[in-house]
Amino acid sequence: MGAVLVQRDGPATRLVIDRPERDNSLTAADVRELADRLETAAADPATRVVVLAGAGGTLCTGMDLAEVAGGADAGGGSGFFDLLRRITEIDVTVVAALDGRAVGGGVGLAAACDLVVATERSAFSLPEALWGLLPCNILPFLIRRTGFQRAYAMTLSTATMTAAEARTAGLVDELDTAQGRHLRRLVGRLAKVDRATVGEAKAYCATLSPIGADTREHASATFARLLRTPAVHTRIDNYVRHQRMPWEQ
Amino acid sequence: MGAVLVQRDGPATRLVIDRPERDNSLTAADVRELADRLETAAADPATRVVVLAGAGGTLCTGMDLAEVAGGADAGGGSGFFDLLRRITEIDVTVVAALDGRAVGGGVGLAAACDLVVATERSAFSLPEALWGLLPCNILPFLIRRTGFQRAYAMTLSTATMTAAEARTAGLVDELDTAQGRHLRRLVGRLAKVDRATVGEAKAYCATLSPIGADTREHASATFARLLRTPAVHTRIDNYVRHQRMPWEQ
Amino acid sequence: MGAVLVQRDGPATRLVIDRPERDNSLTAADVRELADRLETAAADPATRVVVLAGAGGTLCTGMDLAEVAGGADAGGGSGFFDLLRRITEIDVTVVAALDGRAVGGGVGLAAACDLVVATERSAFSLPEALWGLLPCNILPFLIRRTGFQRAYAMTLSTATMTAAEARTAGLVDELDTAQGRHLRRLVGRLAKVDRATVGEAKAYCATLSPIGADTREHASATFARLLRTPAVHTRIDNYVRHQRMPWEQ
Contact list in B for residue A189 (CB cut-off 8 A) is 157-159
Whether A157 sits inside 8 A of C204 (CB atoms) is: no
Residues of B in contact with C81 (CB under 8 A): none
Q: What is the pLDDT of residues B128-180, one digit of tens each?
A: 999 999 999 999 999 999 999 999 999 999 999 999 999 999 999 999 999 99
Other C-beta atoms lying within 10 Å of the C-beta of residue C168? 17
DSSP notation for A101-125: EEETHHHHHHHHSSEEEEETT-EEE
From the list C179, C193, C170, C40, the residue with the least C-alpha distance to C113 is C170
Distance between CA atoms of B23 and A178, rounded to whole angstroms? 39
pLDDT at B73: 58
Predicted local confidence at residue A68, as pLDDT: 87
- Asked if the C-beta of A46 comes within 8 angstroms of chain B's C-beta atoms, the answer is no
What was the pLDDT predicted at C248? 81
Q: What are the angstrom distances between the C-alpha of A232 and each of A65, A75, A243?
A: 11, 13, 15
User: What count of other Cβ atoms lies within 10 Å of the Cβ of residue A106?
Assistant: 29
Under DSSP, is residue C89 helix (H, G, I), strand (E, B) or coil?
helix
Nearest to C85 by CA among C137, C123, C32: C137
pLDDT at A247: 84
State which residue of chain A sits closest to B166, comparing Cα positions. Answer: A168
A93–chain C Cβ distance below 8 A for any pair: no
Q: Return the residue of C nearest to A151 by Cα.
A: C205
DSSP output for B104-115? THHHHHHHHSSE
pLDDT tens string A64-108: 999 988 876 545 569 999 999 999 999 999 999 999 999 999 999
Q: What angle do CA A172, A82, A65 make, to 5 degrees?
A: 80
Which of A144, A145, A204 minimises the CB distance to B134? A204
Q: C48, C116, C197: best mutation site toward chain A, by most A Cβ within 10 Å?
A: C197
C93 domain-assigned: yes
pLDDT at B112: 98
Domain membership of residue C83 as a residue range: 4-178
Q: Residue A41 — left, alpha, or beta (φ > 0 → left; ψ -120 to 50 → alpha)?
A: alpha
Question: Minimal Cα distance from C225: which residue of B?
Answer: B200
Q: Would an 8 Å CB–CB cutoff place B168 in contact with chain C?
A: yes
Per DSSP, the three-state class of C65 is helix
Which of B128, B138, B145, B148 would best serve as a mutation to test chain A binding (most A beta carbons within 10 A)? B148
C154: domain CATH number is: 3.90.226.10
For residue B145, the chain C residues in CB contact (below 8 A) are 147-149
Predicted confidence at residue A241, as pLDDT, reads: 94
Nearest CA in chain B to A189: B157
Contacts of residue A231 in chain C, CB cutoff 8 Å? 194, 196
Model pLDDT, residue A196: 97
* B211 domain residue, yes or no: no
Residue C210 lies in a domain: no
Chain A within 8 Å of C210 (Cβ-Cβ)? no
Q: Does residue A154 form part of some domain?
A: yes
Question: Quick one: pLDDT at residue B249?
Answer: 64
- Test B201 with C156 for CB contact under 8 angstroms: yes
Contacts of residue B47, defined as CB under 8 A and 6 or more positions apart, other chains included, come to B11, B12, B13, B41, B92
Residues forming a β-bridge with B117 = B97, B174
Tell which of A193, A195, A202, A211 to mutate to test the B interface (max B CBs under 10 Å): A193
Identify whether C66 is part of a domain.
yes
As a whole number of angstroms, the distance between CA C5 and CA C39 comes to 14
CA C225, C59, B186: angle at the middle one, nearest 5?
65
* C58–chain B nearest CA distance, Å: 24
- Region A207-231: mean pLDDT is 96
Chains that touch B (3 or more CB pairs under 8 A): A, C
> Would you give per-residue pLDDT tens digits along chain B (249 residues)?
689 999 999 999 999 999 999 999 999 999 999 999 999 999 999 999 999 999 999 999 999 999 988 876 545 569 999 999 999 999 999 999 999 999 999 999 999 999 999 999 999 999 999 999 999 999 999 999 999 999 999 999 999 999 999 999 999 999 999 999 999 999 999 999 999 999 999 999 999 999 999 999 999 999 999 999 999 999 999 999 999 999 886
A235 located within any domain: no
Nearest C-alpha of chain A: how many angstroms from B136? 8
Characterize the bridge pairing of strands B115-119 and B174-176: parallel
What pLDDT score was predicted for residue A126?
Answer: 98
**Contact B205/C148 with Cβ under 8 angstroms?**
yes
What is the number of structural domains in chain B?
1
The residues of chain C scoring below 70 in pLDDT are 1, 72-77, 249
Confidence (pLDDT) at C136: 98
Best to test chain B binding among C126, C128, C130, C149 (most B CBs inside 10 Å)? C149
Q: Which amino acid is at C191?
A: A
**A193 within some domain:** no
At A48 the pLDDT is: 97
Structural domain includes residue B242: no
Q: Is A200 on the interface with B (CB under 8 A)?
A: yes
Assign A171 a pLDDT band (cuts: 50, 70, 90).
very high
